Amino acid sequence: MSSSRSERDTLPARPSDHVDSVEGSVPESGLGWRGWLRWAWRQLTNMRTALLLLLMAVAAIPGSLFPQRQADPNGVVQYYDDNPELAPVLDNFQLFDVYGSAWFSAIYLLLFVSLIGCIIPRIKHHAKALRSPAPKTPARLQRMAAHSSHELQLVEGRTPDADIEQAITIAAAELRRRGYRTARYDDATTWSVSAERGHLRETGNLVFHSALVGVLVTVLFSSGLNYTGDRVIVAGTTFVNAESAYSSFAPGRFFDRDSLTPYAMTLDGFDVEYVEPGRPGAGQAGNFAAHLTIREPGSEETRAETVRVNAPITVDGDRIYLLGNGYAPMITIRNAQGDIVYQEPQPFLPQDSAMTSLGVVKVPDGLPEQVGLIGFLYPTQSTLETGASYSVFPDLINPRLTFNVFTGDLGIDDGTPRSVYQLDTESMTQITGGDTGVDSIELTPGDTADLPDGMGTVTFEDLTATEGADEPVKRFVSLQIQRDTGATWVLIFSILATAGLITGLLIPRRRLWVKATLINPVIGDRKVRIEYAGLARGEDPGLERAVTQFSEAHLSAVAEQLPSPLFKKGTP
């Protein structure tokens, strides 16, 4: 229930358009620049918060309609390819970077400036309210939202004042027992107690809004100090934490590049389970676990850790996440003389849920020409009617590797960094597969095939044979390594915000008055009128019930505690 209008003016520090506040006014002309400045500031802090919030909600939506550089950079590239005309226009409006855009930032900064301008005076006001006694009992209680009045006959022959006073004292004690702060306001013919409770409501509201500011400030300031990087580690190999070792590295603006700790991580093994064929969800992979050995600098000791999905590990303040996994077939390439010119477990990137994987092998030296191979690995190969291969199951049941061979310029001599997962075939010639008329190379583990033109051979090593491994093909994991300095604080502020929200929304804030008035007519009986009234501050559906309950409790307490029959119940 909304509060009574008569109390509006006792609710300062509310926006001027708050339902409980007095209507504001436009400054009169001739205020001078200071006046105007003050007026502008008041407008800003009194801005229709609801409107600004709606604006922010609407402004956030385009970020879900268009791919965002931050969350989905490939999506943006794709969008450019699909809509070459439209994309640059959208880009001009920063629609691929909505949450960092000038206009989105303007909205939330406006909102937060307005918020800060709003909470500071409210905090001041609230601090004062917390220390001051409950306000004077209003003269006319019947104007309050909840009100009831009872008239009691006074028994003749006693001075009633002390008894009436006592009745109000009982009320005050009862109110305090119920968590109200009370103050007495008595005069010649009236005795009253003014009680107030629920300052926690405003406290909660202020904690909530301040915590939101806390979240925003933490995010803005900590994001510059963080970094995120991705790295692929093949089983049996070691990664040393240095910027150059990352396959992608995204530091914040103020990130100190010298602050990376050079710890070393070795991938000892990787576990994964697949749902068996024939069961629902067949082929679904799960229970991923990457077993790592970690050595931190300055210590000879190593420790073993396991990274799982949903269970990152922490090394030296960095959090390490398991992002993905795949196969890294060991491939050996020999030249015509039989010398090894290439031998590496090359990570192949999974393309589908059955782990059909795509990989690239680049041989810059040792063969007559530079050679690039684009390969597909099918862990469990099967053939479509068209003759095309595909994988039916993600585990290594019937592994098969196919290669298309390219010769020419790999484009790596000029020092331009090239992805190890992509082959730029622009200045190369395809010599197997596709339209060449020469079949693609197809290998099962342990097989060796000739490269065209007698250049040499390529071997798909079977590691069970060469290394005594459990599986013919090695696995790799991709890890995300990151430092997030602000997360803990964001969490703390979020918890504060939630706690503030719950108290701010659910704790009723109300005032209650009990007033006794001695009615001493010239003719007729002397009577005492006892009034109960309540006033809500903000939403308070329970107000009326609270007032009724209290009046009943108080009347019976008075009947019990005062020697009877001092009062007799009269006409209500």
The footprint of other proteins (CB under 8 A) covers 1-2, 15, 17-21, 23, 48-51, 53-54, 56-57, 60-61, 63-64, 68, 70-72, 75, 98-99, 219, 228, 275, 279-281, 284-288, 308-312, 319, 321, 323, 480, 482, 484, 487, 490-491, 494-495, 497-498, 501-502, 505-506, 538-539, 541, 544
| Rounded Cα gap, residues 431 and 450, in angstroms | 13
Is 507 a residue that touches ligand HEM (CB under 6 A)? no
| Rounded Cα gap, residues 572 and 559, in angstroms | 16
What minimum distance in Å lies between the beta carbon of 240 and other proteins?
20
Look up residue 44 and give its two tokens. 């800003």
**Residue 157, binding choice from ligand HEM, other proteins, none, Cβ under 5 to 8 Å by partner class:** none
Is 543 a residue that touches ligand HEM (CB under 6 A)? no
Look up residue 242 and give its two tokens. 């240095």
Is 31 a residue that touches ligand HEM (CB under 6 A)? no
Is 208 a residue that touches ligand HEM (CB under 6 A)? yes
The residue number with the shortest CB distance to ligand HEM is 504
Given the complex with ligand HEM, which of 80 and 108 has the nearer CB atom? 108
Given the complex with ligand HEM, which of 15 and 326 has the nearer CB atom? 15
| Rounded Cα gap, residues 358 and 394, in angstroms | 14
Buried b (16+ CB within 10 A) or exposed e, 109-144: eebbebbebbbeebbebbeeeeeeebeebbeebeeb
Is 251 a residue that touches ligand HEM (CB under 6 A)? no
The CA angle 103-107-109, to the nearest 5 degrees, is: 110
- Looking at residue 4, the DSSP 8-state letter turns out to be P
**Number of Cβ within a 10 Å radius of residue 76:** 21
CA distances from 316 to 69, 177, 264, 265 (A): 29, 53, 11, 12
Among candidate residues 394, 133, 436, 439, the one with its CA nearest the CA of residue 282 = 394
Given the complex with ligand HEM, which of 54 and 505 has the nearer CB atom? 505
Residue type, 76: V
What minimum distance in Å lies between the beta carbon of 45 and other proteins?
14
Find the distance separating the first CA and the last CA of the chain, reported in whole Å. Answer: 26
Is 506 a residue that touches ligand HEM (CB under 6 A)? no
**Residue 48, binding choice from ligand HEM, other proteins, none, Cβ under 5 to 8 Å by partner class:** other proteins
Given the complex with other proteins, which of 161 and 273 has the nearer CB atom? 273
Given the complex with ligand HEM, which of 53 and 71 has the nearer CB atom? 53
Candidates 67, 138, 160, 204; binder of ligand HEM (CB under 6 A) is: 204
Given the complex with ligand HEM, which of 204 and 486 has the nearer CB atom? 204
Is 15 a residue that touches ligand HEM (CB under 6 A)? yes
Tokens 């915590």 belong to which residue?
A: 211
Given the complex with ligand HEM, which of 102 and 116 has the nearer CB atom? 116
| Rounded Cα gap, residues 7 and 194, in angstroms | 15
Stretch that binds ligand HEM, among 232-240, 266-274, 500-508, 545-553 (CB under 6 A): 500-508
Given the complex with ligand HEM, which of 358 and 490 has the nearer CB atom? 490
The CA angle 352-356-360, to the nearest 5 degrees, is: 115
Is omega for the bond preceding 368 within 30 degrees of 0, making it cis? no
DSSP string, 78-99: HHHHH-TTHHHHHHHTTTTSGG
**Number of Cβ within a 10 Å radius of residue 501:** 17
**Residue 204, binding choice from other proteins, ligand HEM, none, Cβ under 5 to 8 Å by partner class:** ligand HEM
Among candidate residues 469, 458, 343, the one with its CA nearest the CA of residue 402 = 458
| Rounded Cα gap, residues 529 and 148, in angstroms | 10
Stretch that binds ligand HEM, among 10-18, 172-180, 332-340, 351-359 (CB under 6 A): 10-18
DSSP string, 174-215: HHHHTT-EEEEEE-SSEEEEEEEE-HHHHHHHHHHHHHHHHH
Candidates 538, 543, 546, 567; binder of ligand HEM (CB under 6 A) is: 538
What minimum distance in Å lies between the beta carbon of 12 and other proteins?
15
Is 199 a residue that touches ligand HEM (CB under 6 A)? no
What minimum distance in Å lies between the beta carbon of 124 and ligand HEM?
14
Residues 6+ apart with CB under 8 A from 14: 20, 21, 122
Is 493 a residue that touches ligand HEM (CB under 6 A)? no
Write out the binding residues for ligand HEM, residues 97-126 only, by CB under 6 A: 111, 114-115, 118
Given the complex with ligand HEM, which of 121 and 297 has the nearer CB atom? 121
| Rounded Cα gap, residues 255 and 229, in angstroms | 13
Look up residue 139 and give its two tokens. 């003269």
Q: Please give the residue ranges that form the binding site for ligand HEM (CB under 6 A).
A: 14-15, 18, 45, 49, 53, 111, 114-115, 118, 204-205, 208-209, 212, 501, 504-505, 538
